[in-house]
Copies of this chain bind each other. A is one copy, B any other.
Amino acid sequence: MAPKKGLLERLDEGVVIGDGGFVFALEKRGYVKAGPWTPEACIEHPEAVRQLHREFLRAGADVMQALTFYASDDKLSNRGNESSKKYSCEGINKAACELAREVADEGGALVAGGLSQTPTYLSGMSKEATQKEFQKQVDVFIKNNVDFLIPEYFEHVEEMVWAIEVCVKSGLPVVASMCIGPEGDLHGVTAGECAVRMAKAGAHVVGLNCHFDPFVTLEGLKKMKVALDAAGIKVHLIAQPLALHTPDAEKQGFIDLPEFPFGLEPRTCTRWDMHRYAREAYDLGVRYIGGCCGFEAYHIRAVAEELSKERGCLPEASKKHEQWAGGLRMHTKPWVRARAGRQYWEKLRPSSGRPFSSAMSKPDCWGVTAGDKILKQKTEATTEEEIVDLKQKGRLMNGK
């Protein structure tokens, strides 16, 4: 049996489809707590994590990202979180890798170990302290033979470069993805400059994930592409956006929107939005195309279906989904059968059923970022007084 092709080889040859978002999906399924968002479910409920991996695999994902989001030791013990003490950083990361590998092997997919931004950095601590957090996770990834590394969900290119430096020492391919938009990072570095710095630090693939919808994300990637071209740098691009419409988000993305995180439902993209996303990403030259928060299996399947010619195959889950709504030919009601076709769904602008809601929101714009005292991490739980203070501060800042 021929050895499995690696990430870079696959990207050179064609498209690699990423998986979708785990923490949002598992929060809704009851296994992840919104707020800390840490992945102790890998130990507490492996069957739930395994099942979600399988859904993405069936949908066409070529990569199983181990569920190691926010699984750094400092985050696992932040603001009253007891996961570090109960399960340890190593325990969670190891369990995540094993689950990803188990499912990946069912379908020839690659396993990726992910790092994300740290409380250590946001608290203004040193490069050394920050990299130590990354190293602890990378050590587990190496021990567990992941196929490549994804430092992702970084808002500051400075911290991202520090993460890449740790990753490249592993000798594995490094996919570096920031959670910024076309306006650049939170310290004011442009998206283009971020791309160049990531590539220069050694990343093999650079791009964007989370925080913005597919189309805003592609605007950011256009800027990255222009800057990389101008710098004469050749790397692959990755896009793993939200499956949520965010035309109204500002620099900090959907975190600032008043609906985050418990009122985002009406923003959810349809599968048809994902057809458009996949096509536009591909046409822009992006070759690692996946999703982040909000992306469920059917969104990934839509990406795989849109790119089925380029990939030469349909995903397993398309056995339960005929192209462009073809399955509706079997519907009981004749007027639903009449909707079986591409033109109908491409033209549809779906209603919200919410006549008392507006189309867009005004984001909270506190504008604070790494180094600001208010972002300082702490192990104690947030007190009631602190919440009251924060609400008052919010009223002052947003004139509410």
Contact = CB atoms under 8 A, between A and B. Distances in A.
A31 interface: yes
Nearest to A260: B336
A330 B36 contact: yes
Contacts of A359: 351-360
A57 B34 CA distance: 20
A277 to B, nearest CB: 14
Residue in A266, A270, A297, A356 with the greatest tally of chain B CB atoms within 10 Å? A266
B28 A296 contact: yes
A354 to B, nearest CB: 6
Report how many copies the assembly holds: 4
A333 B355 CA distance: 26
A352 B297 contact: no
A337 B366 CA distance: 13
B270 A353 contact: no
A55 B256 CA distance: 30
Interface residues of A, number: 105
B352 A357 contact: yes
A361 B270 CA distance: 16
Q: Is the interface of A mostly helix, strand, loop or mixed?
A: loop
Given A28-B296, A30-B59, A320-B30, A259 B351 contact: yes
A33 B270 CA distance: 16
B352 A356 contact: no
A78 interface: yes
Interface of A: 27-36, 47-48, 51, 54-55, 58-59, 78-81, 119, 122, 213, 244-248, 252, 255-272, 296-298, 301, 316-317, 320-322, 325-341, 345, 348-362, 364, 366, 368, 374-375, 377, 381-382, 386-387, 390-391, 393-394, 397
B51 A266 contact: no
Nearest to A343: B391
B349 A352 contact: no
Residue in A119, A260, A263, A368 with the greatest tally of chain B CB atoms within 10 Å? A263
28 contacts: A27-B320, A29-B297, A29-B298, A30-B317, A47-B54, A51-B51, A248-B351, A248-B353, A258-B348, A263-B270, A263-B272, A265-B268, A265-B269, A265-B270, A266-B352, A266-B353, A266-B354, A267-B351, A329-B381, A332-B377, A335-B394, A335-B397, A337-B382, A340-B382, A353-B360, A355-B359, A356-B360, A358-B359
